Structure 1
Amino acid sequence: MRERLWVVVGRVCGTGYTEPTANFYELGGDSLLAGELMSALRAEFGTELPMNLLFEAPDMGTFVEDAVALVDSSAQRGGS
């Protein structure tokens, strides 16, 4: 699942965002791109992820790990 999530990040945001230490804002990320990413992740995993998960993450690696945990948790509960 982690790899699938990174693929979606790269497809939506660009390959620069797929480095675990990359900072979403330093690479030019904004609320529009964040919305596109969250929509793509919802379509891929069937789980609604809160936007603040991305906004509060210090780097993309943290965001991906936090997102994996939420997607896993949602899957264990039977989806969103």
Structure 2
Amino acid sequence: MQERIWVIVGQVCGTGYTEPAANFYELGGDSLLAGELMTALRTEFGVELPMNLLFEAPDMGTFVHDAVPLVDSPPAQRGGS
């Protein structure tokens, strides 16, 4: 699962963002790019990730690590709408 998320990060944001220690903001990430990434993840996994998951992560490795349980859980455990 983690590998699939990394692939999407690389496709949407660029390969510089695929380093675990990479900082989204230091690489030029902004709300538009964050929205594109979240949309791509929602399309791939069928789950809406909270935007603050990316905004509050100190680096991309933390973001991916924190995203795995959310995209890998059964729909009933995601706190659906």
Percentage identity across aligned positions?
Answer: 80
Runs (4+) of structure 1 exceeding 6 A deviation are: none
| Long gaps (5+) in structure 2 | none
| Long gaps (5+) in structure 1 | none
Q: Normalising to structure 2: TM-score of the pair?
A: 0.91
Residue 37 of structure 1 and its aligned partner are, at CA, apart by 0.1
Q: Normalising to structure 1: TM-score of the pair?
A: 0.92
Residue 18 of structure 1 and its aligned partner are, at CA, apart by 0.1
Aligned-residue RMSD, C-alpha: 1.4
Aligned to 2:76: 77
Q: How does 1:26-45 map to 2 (within 5 A)?
A: 26-45=26-45
Residue 70 of structure 1 and its aligned partner are, at CA, apart by 1.1
